[in-house]
Each structure stands twice: as C-alpha cells, then as structure tokens.
A and B are shown apart, each in its own frame.
Chain A
C-alpha cells in the first residue's frame, strides 16, 4: 500500500527535479551558446542568458557553413539525416511487418528456424558486424549513397518481434472470417492487418526514426564526400579543428537543429500514437 505522506512527495519531487535539471541543463547551455558570437562563447564565462546573435548564427549554420574551414551548410546535412532516418524507419517497418506476417501466418519449411535467425540478429548490432557490412556495401558500390546509408540498418529483429507479438494477439477468427469473405492472403494483409497495425507502426516509426537519426559510426565510415554527411557526424567534424578555434556557437546551433526533427517526430507521432491506443480495441 502506498500512503500519501507529505515528506515522501516532497522528496520524490526533489529527486525528479534534480534529475530533470541534470538532463536539461546541458541542452540549455547549448541553446544559449548558439545565441552568442564566437568570442563570448570561447572566453570561458558562458552567460546564462540569450545573446543577440541568434538569427545570424542560425542563418550561417543552415545556409552558409563555417567561415574558415570549407564546410557544408547544415541545411544539406539535415536533409541527408532526414532521408536516412526516414529511409531506415520506413524500410524497417515494411521489412519487419512483411517478415512478421510470413512467420505468423504462413506454414513453410524451417519457419521456426527463420524466426530464430531473425531473433539472433538482435544480438548483432551494426557495430559488431561493421567490417563485413562495410565490405558488402563497398563491393556493391554503395559508398557515399543514400542506399548505402540506409540498407544495412534496415534489417530489424525488434520490429519483426514487435509485429509478431501484435499479430499473435489478433484472434484467429478474424483470419477465418476473411477467408470466408473471400479475402486471400494479400487482401487479408491489406484490408485487415495493416489498418489494425497502424498504432504499432506509429510506435515503431518513432523509435526507428530516432535510431536512424542518431546513427554516428556507420555514416562516418561510409561517407567520404562532404555532400553525403549527416548532421550527427557533421557536428563532430565542426569541433575537430587543427589550427583554429572551433566555432562553438555554430556547433551549438547545429546541435540544437539536430534535435528538432526527432523531437518533432515524437511530439507529432505521440498524439497520433495515443489516439491510436484509445481507438483500437481488440
């Protein structure tokens, strides 16, 4: 039994507030830093209030790029990141819903084996299989292409598992009713499974979009041209300068910009996600 005690509440809120502070403060500093000029940021005394260079910094970050090093403007990197994240999220949804459909609804030889092989890939993230994957992508001449960025990250055991679990909660009678209603495997998938899976797809999209957006190692490895860089690798490159000061205010503006799309996806999809949860009834 949980009793409501005043001091318990206060303690709980204190701990939570402290936690939120720890998480939010660096973001706040980044936001503030992106509004000052370079001199203010590097002099060591970071002001805690916004400065007057906001528009200038963001304009330069998005459209111009760094002044000293020749660097792509962030606008292009955002585009690259967006294409990669969307490609990964949508690709994963398509691949995993299809494979889950096969594993749950079709009887074919080695079905269980197929399922377990998919399951085992859970234990092999990109970082572990990065060398062979690089070799494959290089041999397919996909270095510095969107396909090269997206394809190796699409195969997803998590998505397959998620859809499999969901499909298994759908009563068999629905499939049987469809069969009697003259719906073949494709119609059943299109008319019944897909509409029922919208919520699951939304959830998976949120997770996978952020997963794709935050990829660092893989894009770093296979992109050599500036024009194919993603924003996450771009930020890092802004900070490794050899004989000049890093343009911290631009880097911070870039970091803030890099946060916007995933946050937008979460906020937008969450609404749809919750609505889906409320509406769906099994």
Chain B
C-alpha cells in the first residue's frame, strides 16, 4: 500500500537520446494507473524506471514516501509482470512463485501458505508441479501474476501483460486483473498500447507521446475532453474525426464566441456523436455532406466511411489517422446507406471539440 510519485523524471540514454522528457504525476494509494501511448513513447521505459531496471537520469521516483532512485529493484517492494511472462523455464509453477520469497529468507511454511493461496485465487492449484512449457499462454500469464501476488508488494507493475494472448483471452484476463486489483487494493501501474485496455482498467489514465505526458485524468474525462488532437485520436475507436477549419462555413457556427472563432484551427467530432439525418443541424451544431465510400458492419454497429463534398481536409494526427477528407460515422444497428450515396451527418454543438491549429491546445466552447 503506497502512493507513487514521479517528480520531473527524465531519462537520457548514453547516446544522447532523451526517452523521458520530464514527467510528473502522482498515483494515490490503491489506484490503478494506466500508461498508454504508441510504441516508442517511453511508457515502458518509465515503468522500468519505477521498477529500478533503468536508471533515472534526473528527477525523483518516490514509492510510499521513499525516494527509490538508488535502490535495487528487489528492495523497492514492487512486483512486475512482464510481457513475455519471464517465467523460469526450469522451475515448476510452485517454485516460480516461491523463488522470490525464498531469496528473501521467508520461512517455508509461510511461503507455502502464500503460494497455495495465490494458486487458489488464480485457479492454478492443480498445476503447481508443472513446468511453464506445459501451460497454455493464459495459464503462464496467471503464473506471472501469481509470482507478483505472493510477494504482497507495495506496487504492481504490468508491462503489456496481455499482448501475447489471443483476443478472447485478453478480454477475460483484463477483467480478472481488474477484479484482483480491486480486491488486493494494491497500487498498480500498467503499461499498454491498447486504448480499450487503458479505458477499462484505469483509475488514472496517463496518455504519453514522445517521452512526455499528453494528458492525465480519469478515462472518461479524457474521452470527453481530450486535451490535444493526439489524445483525441488515440483514445476512442474508431478515432475522432479531426477536420481542419479552412473555410468560414463551420467557423461561422462559433461566431458568437470570438475567442474560439479566432483561435480554433481544428474541429473534432467523434464518430459515435455523428448521426445521419435528413435535416441540417439547427442548434449550432455542424452538418457534413458526405459521399459514402465504404461500410464496415461489425454486428451491433456499423461504421460508415464518407468523404466530404467540400474542399476542407481532415487533419491527421498519428496514430489512428484518417485519410484526408475522410469522416467516419458510427451508427447503431446494421442499416447503412448504400455505397456512393450522398448522406448528411450532423452533430450537436455540445459534441464538438475545438483545438488550436497546431493541435496542442484544447479550446473549450
């Protein structure tokens, strides 16, 4: 049980590459923090710095009120779950879990109690004598979790623990991890590039890009009010439509608010906030005239890919970029317009997001 604070943490590699460019945030006791971002954004590096597997160039990593910069990983009271599980291939499941406890000189009966307890929780009780290679991917994953649990550490660190599992198992394990963490109330930091995992697991979501934090907040706050176009396109699937404001016809909608009209350069609207309707938007919302290019039916909903008739281009912000001028509309059910049809998509004013022209600032309407 501990909070974790990062104070102006930086990491520069010997080659001069700056992987982490000054990160500062705090995770409260028992909270589940998810670091999300595209590959190479520094999220894994940051996690490994908390673990002690990477040195901290400057700044402070604080676990439970103790600055741990110079402390060995084993003495930081953390446990880590690796992407490839990193189980000891020659040890049985039991020994994999017990190894860390033995190294700490814990008495045998207590080790036994803890391991059997963890095995119960993770439904591994019948497999304690097996070797990792005799287990399925999901079971290995659970052993890796078990190894972390038996330690009863202050902090759990997860480094993309689900990315080696197939899609179905991933969803199941995601729920299990969340339930487990709720029950154990252990502060956790979880790294992923999967925005769905990020949204569903996090108490606090940290969106990272290029070694910096783009936005910190609760998942829904971030979804509702993305601070930058990067966050807007990274959180939510399919990504938010981002439309560069060129002509006056959309800008004119906001004429009443001089500040937004003057500064706004990019308009964002989520696919699920667009509706196909016959009438134009009236309440200060926007209307997009689209030609349907493609349809994706996934059962419960349908994605309509259209291009705008007007000349304005949608800006693209990696990742999840939209081809220029393309707009995605997400509609419930399976009824969709025909390909090639002209449709009108509208969104009400409160569903619109405005950003500065460089995409770095959100402008509240």
Contact = CB atoms under 8 A, between A and B. Distances in A.
Interface stretch (A69-77, A168-176, A238-246, A262-270): A168-176
A275 interface: no
A63 to B, nearest CB: 45
A180 B79 contact: yes
A182 B90 contact: no
A280 B88 CA distance: 11
B86 A196 contact: no
Interface string B111-152: 000000000000000000000010000000000000100000
Given A171-B84, A171-B86, A191-B99, A176 B74 contact: no
Given A176-B53, A180-B100, A182-B100, A192 B86 contact: no
Interface string A146-186: 00000000000000000000000001011011011111000
25 contacts: A171-B84, A173-B82, A173-B83, A173-B84, A174-B86, A176-B51, A176-B80, A176-B86, A177-B86, A177-B87, A177-B88, A177-B147, A179-B53, A179-B72, A179-B73, A179-B74, A180-B79, A180-B100, A181-B100, A182-B103, A191-B99, A192-B88, A192-B90, A281-B89, A281-B133
A194 B316 CA distance: 52
Contacts of A177: 80, 82, 86-88, 147
A201 to B, nearest CB: 13
A280 B89 contact: yes
B104 interface: yes
Interface in B68-84: 72-75, 78-80, 82-84
Nearest to B75: A182
B154 to A, nearest CB: 13
B80 A180 contact: yes
A181 B84 CA distance: 16
Among B72, B87, B88: residue with most chain A CB under 10 A: B88
Interface string B86-104: 1111100000000110011
A111 interface: no
B257 to A, nearest CB: 52
Given A171-B84, A171-B86, A183-B74, 7 more contacts: A173-B82, A176-B82, A179-B53, A180-B74, A180-B80, A181-B100, A182-B75
Contacts, number: 59
Interface of B: 51-53, 72-75, 78-80, 82-84, 86-90, 99-100, 103-104, 133, 147
A173 B157 CA distance: 14
A282 B89 contact: yes
Contacts of B75: 182
A171 B132 CA distance: 15
B357 to A, nearest CB: 43
A180 to B, nearest CB: 5
A187 interface: yes
Nearest to A194: B90
Given A195-B90, A281-B89, A180 B133 contact: no
B186 to A, nearest CB: 15
Interface of A: 171, 173-174, 176-177, 179-183, 187, 191-192, 195-196, 280-282
A280 B79 CA distance: 26
Contacts of A191: 88, 99
Given A171-B86, A174-B86, A181 B74 contact: yes
Nearest to B81: A177
A35 B51 CA distance: 71
Nearest to A195: B90
Contacts of A195: 90
A182 B74 contact: yes
A41 to B, nearest CB: 53
A85 B159 CA distance: 48
Nearest to B53: A176
Contacts of A180: 51-53, 73-74, 78-80, 100
Given A176-B80, A180-B80, A187 B86 contact: no
Contacts of B87: 177
A191 B86 CA distance: 14
Among A173, A179, A181, A281: residue with most chain B CB under 10 A: A181
A272 to B, nearest CB: 15
B103 to A, nearest CB: 4
Contact of A173 (B72, B86, B147): B86
Nearest to A173: B86
Contacts of B79: 180
Nearest to B72: A179
Nearest to B104: A182
Contacts of B78: 180
Nearest to A183: B103
A58 B148 CA distance: 63
Top 3 closest A-B pairs, CB basis? Answer: A181-B100, A173-B86, A182-B74
Contacts of B82: 173, 176-177
Contacts of B99: 181, 183, 191
A250 B267 CA distance: 99
Contacts of B52: 179-180
A141 to B, nearest CB: 43
Nearest to A179: B73
A192 to B, nearest CB: 6
